Amino acid sequence: MDNLLLMLAPLFSSKLLLVLFFGTLFGLILGVLPGLGPTTGGALILPFTMTLDPLSAIVLLTSIYCAGTYGGAITAVLINTPGTPAAAATCLDGYPLAQKGEAGRALGMATVSSTVGGIFSVVILVFFAPILAQLAYEFGQPEYFALAIFGLTMLASIGEGSPIKNLIAGAFGILISTVGKDFMTSIDRFTFGINELTEGIGFIPVVVGLFAMSEMLTQSTLINQVFNRIALKAIKLPSKDDYKKTWKTILRSSGIGSFIGVLPAEGGTVASLIGYSEAKRFSKKPEEFGKGSIEGIAGAEAANNAATGGAMVPTLALGIPGSATTAVILTGLIIHGVRPGPDLFREQPDFLYGIFGAMLIANILFFIFGFFGAKIFARITLVPNKILWPMIFAVSVCGTYSLNQSIIDVWIMLFFGVLGFFMRRYGFSVVPVIIGLILGELVEGTLRQSLVIFDGNWLMFFTRPIALTFFILSLIALAFPLIRSRKIKKNND
């Protein structure tokens, strides 16, 4: 009962309500704009959160996360371009349905299923995060090391890209985290005599560079691309018949999305693809998928929004990001002096339940905004890139500079922008770099501390049951993409 009251606290604070309102609105705008999205948007807004108290800052970031994930569906349905990667599966049926003159119905289903998925995942978060946090009390340094390794091996199965390329990108992210003074011995590593690098490479320049600047370079190659935008008259709530057809799909995808979200490093993109394919598998009319199936939209959208709450579970309970956007939220927590993990649940329940409540309200708010404002948000896609991206550049540069007031950070951001562009061009996802960077310190720190505990005996890792379980899961995570590709190859043959 007390926890429920704590969850409702944001409703009684005008400041938090204002932050929620702004965050949801901003998240929707970011989600609608192709190439932006909650991860880049969260990174861009992170410096601004320094003026807020920790709870308001995290509420702002989580509301951007929830609304941004939904916002991607608007662009997916109307211009066949996912506003966020997580909305890619929504294009498959959303756009064909819009082409049939049913854009309002497609967006109505996307809005309802996103809201249900989002709320479902918050319930999962409220129940499972404290349990996981309780479990984490059993963890010592070796267990955290094994957990971080599990998180990294999960990178192998991110998206449709090459698992080895994802692992290389993840290892590169960890390598970036080693730049600067070694935390145990204060010895300089990879600083090349540059004083500014002794503190290490900051998260914000890397994330803004890899996401925003690399996207700016990508957009520079697409300036002649013309989008066919389908006109939206009004968004329509799904009919009784639509609900009958889709309620099972929505619930199933909500469960799938929440589960996928909980897995370290996975996120909305993987969740929506699995949610979509499972909706097709269970459908009575699988032949309609790809041609404007309402079940397809429901399956993808419920899953990607359900992944938001799921991804917050390991982020808050263990300090392991569940997705790229939660990596930004994790950074937000750290720069505001909040240390995620089991102690957070014991010492600051009001803070945690405030976040849970804010996520719940954000899901309701984006339903209202989406339902009444989808037509207006759809118009945002009309802002030409030649106006939009120079503006994003100005905000990116000032935002990156503002954290440490360092011009070197801006140059690092530009460097990672160029690097991110070429990484994406040659099939290397940039998300593993971010996850690697976040987990790098944890991996190295726990490894070295474990070796001190074990007196340098590596084999001792395998005598700890929890650590051993995570190592076995890591092996499964590495083998899974291999099995999947063989299965696909066999099916094709």
Partner 1 sequence: MKNVQKSKRANKSLPFFFKDEFKVSFVIIFISLILLFTTFTFDVVPPILNRGIQPATFPKALLILIIAMTLIIYYLATKNPWKIEKKLPKSFFLTLFSFILFVIVSKTLDFFLAISALSIFVSYCWGEKRLFYLLLVGIIFPIIVFIFFETILGLRFPPGIITNIYYS
Fill in the amino acid letter for 401: Y
Q: Looking at beta carbons only, is 141 or 253 nearer to partner 1?
A: 141
- The piece of 52-60, 91-99, 102-110, 385-393 that touches partner 1 (CB under 8 A) is 385-393
Q: Residue 11 or residue 452: which is nearer to partner 1 going by CB?
A: 452
Find the binding residues for partner 1 in span 170-209 (CB under 8 A). Answer: 171-172, 174-175, 178, 182, 184-185, 187-190, 192
- By CB under 8 A, residue 459 contacts partner 1: no
The site for partner 1, by CB under 8 A, has a size of 59
Q: Which residues contact 27 (CB under 8 A, 6 or more apart)?
A: 38, 41, 63, 64, 65, 66, 67, 68, 69, 70, 71, 362, 366
Q: Does 475 bind partner 1 (CB under 8 A)?
A: no
Question: Residue 12 or residue 426: which is nearer to partner 1 going by CB?
Answer: 426
In the complex, least distance from residue 44 CB atom to partner 1, rounded to whole angstroms: 11
Stretch that binds partner 1, among 102-110, 114-122, 345-353, 449-457 (CB under 8 A): 449-457
460 is a contact residue toward partner 1 (CB under 8 A): no
Q: In this complex, which beta carbon is closest to partner 1, that of residue 101 or of residue 427?
A: 427
Q: Contact between 19 and partner 1 (CB under 8 A)? A: no
Site string for partner 1, 146-175 (x = CB under 8 A): ----------------x-xx-xx--xx-xx
Among 135, 364, 414, 478, binds partner 1 (CB under 8 A): 414
Site string for partner 1, 91-130 (x = CB under 8 A): ----------------------------------------
Q: Is 21 in the site for partner 1 (CB under 8 A)?
A: no
Does the protein bind partner 1 through residue 364 (CB under 8 A)? no
Residues in 328-347 that interact with partner 1 by CB under 8 A: none
* Binding-residue pattern over the window 415 to 434 for partner 1, x denoting contact by CB under 8 A: --xx------xxx-------
Which of 26, 276, 356, 401: binder of partner 1 (CB under 8 A)?
401
Work out whether 290 is an interface residue with partner 1 (CB under 8 A): no
Q: Which two tokens stand for residue 122?
A: 């918050």
Contacts for 397 with CB less than 8 Å, ≥ 6 apart? 410, 413
- State the SS3 of the chain: CHHHHHHCHHHHCHHHHHHHHHHHHHHHHHHHCCCCCHHHHHHHHHHHHHHCCHHHHHHHHHHHHHHHHHHHHHHHHHHCCCCCHHHHHHHHHHHHHHHHHHHHHHHHHHHHHHHHHHHHHHHHHHHHHHHHHHHHCCCCHHHHHHHHHHHHHHHHHCCCCCHHHHHHHHHHHHHHHCCEECCCCCCEECCCCCHHHHHCCCHHHHHHHHHHHHHHHHHHCCCCCCCCCCCCCCCCCCCHHHHHHHHHHHHHHHHHHHHHHHCCCCCHHHHHHHHHHHHHHHCCCHHHCCCCCHHHHHHHHHHHHHHHHHHHHHHHHHCCCCCHHHHHHHHHHHHCCCCCCHHHHHHCHHHHHHHHHHHHHHHHHHHHHHHHHHHHHHHHCCCCHHHHHHHHHHHHHHHHHHHHCCHHHHHHHHHHHHHHHHHHHCCCCCHHHHHHHHHHHHHHHHHHHHHHHCCCCHHHHHHCHHHHHHHHHHHHHHHHHHHHHHHHHHHHC
Only one residue has tokens 């690697």, namely 436
* Residue among 120, 144, 389, 416 that touches partner 1 (CB under 8 A): 389
Site map (CB under 8 A) of partner 1, residues 209-248, x = contact = ----x--xx--xx-x-------------------------
Please say which residue, 21 or 411, places its beta carbon nearer to partner 1: 411
Interface pick for partner 1 out of 393, 460, 468, 469 (rule CB under 8 A): 393
Tell me how crowded residue 490 is: count the other CB atoms within 10 A of its CB. 8
Least distance (Å) between residue 110 CB and partner 1: 29
The least distance separating partner 1 from the CB of residue 208, rounded to whole angstroms, comes to 13
Q: Is residue 488 a contact residue for partner 1 (CB under 8 A)?
A: no
| Near partner 1 by CB under 8 A: residue from 265, 447, 467, 477 | 447
Sole window of 54-62, 241-249, 345-353, 442-450 interacting with partner 1 (rule: CB under 8 A): 442-450
What are the CA-CA distances from residue 385 to residues 36, 84, 225, 379, 389 (Å)? 12, 16, 10, 14, 6
Residues that bind partner 1 (CB under 8 A): 47-48, 50-51, 162, 164-165, 167-168, 171-172, 174-175, 178, 182, 184-185, 187-190, 192, 213, 216-217, 220-221, 223, 384-387, 389-391, 393-395, 397-398, 401-402, 405, 407, 410-411, 414, 417-418, 425-427, 444, 447-449, 451-452, 456
